[in-house]
């Protein structure tokens, strides 16, 4: 659904200086589905890429992407604008939708389900030069276990991990989206990774939640 949906960024959304235009588009989208469709076309590939990075499954990523925009359409009227725009909000929805899919399916992991959350969870964050680099390395915990663990930590911790590592935001942008300073974000991430590690250690690998 995503590669085929890719189109050139619509006018007014192509550069960093066009946040005002996107905000106006968001405001229109609260009442106008055609405006929401423009937001969809602009952000669908980024949401899909994030969901795929989160789960490693094309099928789950496609399902989560569809569910994300269905939920966003229902919730756009309540969306509160921030300087980073609508995308971080969509990515948080996508993260929750992936978790919901795995809660419903509780399916076994695939060989591709070796993800960096294991490395991020089992390594002390202070010992990792760039935790984001671990995303592509794989790990020793299966995907189902990692999804259950990520879903069980509190929402702020899950958001911090998702924005900083899975969405690939730099520390400045992640801190802005979290509504905190970089130093507070660093503390939050340290605690989030420790909570993730502790939650994973309580679960048998590949076992039921």
On whether the CB atoms of residues 127 and 194 are closer than 8 A, the answer is no
Q: Is 19 exposed, middle or buried (0-12, 13-18, 19+ CB in 10 A)?
A: middle
Q: Is 130 exposed, middle or buried (0-12, 13-18, 19+ CB in 10 A)?
A: exposed
| Lowest mean pLDDT segment, chosen from 16-20, 35-39, 84-88, 169-173 | 16-20
Q: Is 123 exposed, middle or buried (0-12, 13-18, 19+ CB in 10 A)?
A: middle
Percent of the chain's residues with pLDDT above 70: 66
**Distance from C-alpha of 26 to C-alpha of 168, rounded to nearest angstrom:** 23
**Distance from C-alpha of 95 to C-alpha of 106, rounded to nearest angstrom:** 16
* pLDDT for position 190: 87
Tens of pLDDT along 156-173? 888 888 788 777 678 888
Give the CA-trace dihedral at 118, 102, 159, 68, to 10 degrees. Answer: 140
Provide the mean pLDDT of the chain.
73
Q: Which of 90, 105, 120 is the last residue of a domain?
A: 105
Structural domain of residue 95, as residue ranges? Answer: 1-105
Residue 83 shares a structural domain with residue 129: no
Q: Which of 39, 72, 105 is the last residue of a domain?
A: 105
* pLDDT for position 110: 39
* The token pair that represents 165 in the structure block: 């590592």
**Distance from C-alpha of 96 to C-alpha of 119, rounded to nearest angstrom:** 21
Residue 16 shares a structural domain with residue 68: yes
pTM above 0.85, yes or no: no
Residue 71 shares a structural domain with residue 115: no
Residue 119 shares a structural domain with residue 187: yes
> Is 60 exceeded by the pLDDT of residue 141?
no
- Indicate which CATH number applies to the domain containing 6: 1.10.1740.10
**Distance from C-alpha of 19 to C-alpha of 82, rounded to nearest angstrom:** 10
**Looking at the 3D structure of the chain, how many domains does it have?**
2
Contacts of 130 (CB under 8 A, 6+ apart): none
> Is 90 exceeded by the pLDDT of residue 25?
yes
Q: Which of 75, 105, 135 is the last residue of a domain?
A: 105
> Is 50 exceeded by the pLDDT of residue 91?
yes
Selection from 179, 21, 18 nearest residue 88 by Cα: 179
What average pLDDT does this structure show over 117-141? 45
Residue 9 shares a structural domain with residue 89: yes
- Indicate which CATH number applies to the domain containing 121: 1.10.10.10
What average pLDDT does this structure show over 165-183? 81
* pLDDT for position 15: 47
DSSP code, position 137: T
Which secondary structure element, helix H or strand E, spans residue 61, and what is its range?
A: helix 58-75
> Is 70 exceeded by the pLDDT of residue 6?
no
* pLDDT for position 202: 78
* pLDDT for position 78: 92
DSSP 175-198: HHHHTS-HHHHHHHHHHHHHHHHH
What average pLDDT does this structure show over 42-58? 87
Q: Can you tell me whether residue 138 is helix, strand or coil?
A: coil
């Amino acid at each position: 659904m995503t590669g085929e949906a890719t189109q050139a960024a619509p006018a007014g959304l192509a550069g960093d200086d066009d946040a005002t235009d996107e905000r106006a588009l968001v405001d229109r989208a609260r009442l106008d589905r055609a405006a929401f469709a423009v937001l969809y076309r602009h952000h669908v590939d980024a949401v899909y890429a994030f969901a795929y990075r989160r789960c490693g499954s094309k099928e789950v990523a496609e399902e989560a992407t569809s569910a994300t925009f269905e939920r966003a359409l229902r919730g756009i009227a309540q969306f509160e604008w921030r300087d980073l725009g609508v995308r971080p909000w969509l990515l948080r929805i996508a993260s929750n939708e992936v978790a919901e899919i795995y809660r419903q399916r509780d399916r076994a992991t695939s060989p591709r389900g070796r993800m960096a959350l294991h490395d991020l969870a089992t390594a002390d964050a202070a010992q990792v030069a760039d935790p984001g680099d671990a995303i592509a390395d794989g790990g020793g915990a299966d995907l189902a276990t990692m999804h259950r663990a990520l879903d069980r930590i509190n929402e702020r911790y899950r958001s911090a991990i998702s924005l900083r590592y899975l969405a690939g935001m730099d520390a400045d942008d992640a801190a802005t989206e979290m509504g905190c300073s970089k130093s507070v974000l660093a503390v939050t991430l340290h605690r989030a990774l420790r909570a993730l590690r502790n939650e994973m250690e309580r679960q048998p690998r590949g076992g039921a939640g």
